[in-house]
A = this chain, B = another copy of it.
Amino acid sequence: MNKSSKATVLVAEDEESLRETLKLNLELEGYEVTTADTGPAALKVVKNEYFDLIVLDIMLPEIDGLTICETIRMQHNDVPILFLSARNSGADRVEGLKKGGDDYLTKPFNLEELLLRVNKLITKNKKIKEPQAVADFYEFSGCKIDFAAHECVGKNGLKQELSKKEAALLKLLIEHEGEVVSREQILQIVWGYNVYPTTRTIDNFILNFRKYFEADTRNPVHFHSIRGIGYKFTAN
């Protein structure tokens, strides 16, 4: 996770005043906040964007929070979820945690407490995801990359300078060698903001990498595009 990039939070809450209060306060805490006011709206953004945490009201229009949570978990998304609920019956709370929620607060809640819990959930989850750093120097099938010097030697043996973003993206892909990295993840980590859907920016960087490192740019061996998902780097 890039230090400069903010953690992202989705607030799914139908009552406007509370929604805006949460948004404002979370932003003051330094989070990037997206909001949704109905169940379907929440599901839609979750599908399209990456979040570090979801604050989810149990009672939402159209599709309720518990169902939302269940759906999200069924789609193998293990983003932390913090439930909000007006009800305070034990049964309800148990229900929330069982469905895969990570924490639970009942309204009315203390704002400071919410912020603390949010922070706790986010840092905890990040710890898990923090990938092991790659050394400053990396080599694969005849190509060399020196992250410290911001330069590389490509297939043709030519030395090539790497720009900041090029280096960051390259590092990200190499850290996940053999795995697909989604566009959302890339934007989140390298760029530090949420999705701008019609951007061809990432493609252009990949294009460059292929020029530097691929013998045949049309049939990439190292920089694969996985349609609908993202890109994958393979060492050999």
Question: In the bound complex, what is the Cα–Cα distance between A112 and B90 (angstroms)?
Answer: 9
Q: Count of chain A residues with Cβ under 8 Å from any Cβ of B?
A: 51
Is A74 an interface position by the 8 A CB rule?
yes
Is A183 an interface position by the 8 A CB rule?
no
A90-B113, A94-B110 are known; give 5 further A-B pairs, CB within 8 A: A136-B179, A149-B178, A149-B232, A161-B226, A163-B227
Q: Which of A19-51 contact B (CB under 8 A)?
A: 40, 43, 47
A163 shortest CB reach to chain B, Å? 6
Residues of chain A at the chain B interface (Cβ within 8 Å): 40, 43, 47, 63, 71, 74-76, 90-91, 93-94, 97-98, 102-103, 109-110, 112-113, 116-117, 120, 124, 127-128, 131, 136, 146, 148-150, 161, 163-164, 168, 171, 178-180, 188-189, 192-194, 224, 226-229, 232
Q: Is the CB of B103 within 8 A of A90?
A: no
Q: Is the CB of A179 within 8 A of B226?
A: no
Question: What are the 9 tightest A-B residue pairs by CB atom distance, in nearest-first order?
Answer: A90-B110, A164-B228, A148-B179, A97-B116, A74-B189, A94-B113, A150-B180, A94-B112, A150-B226
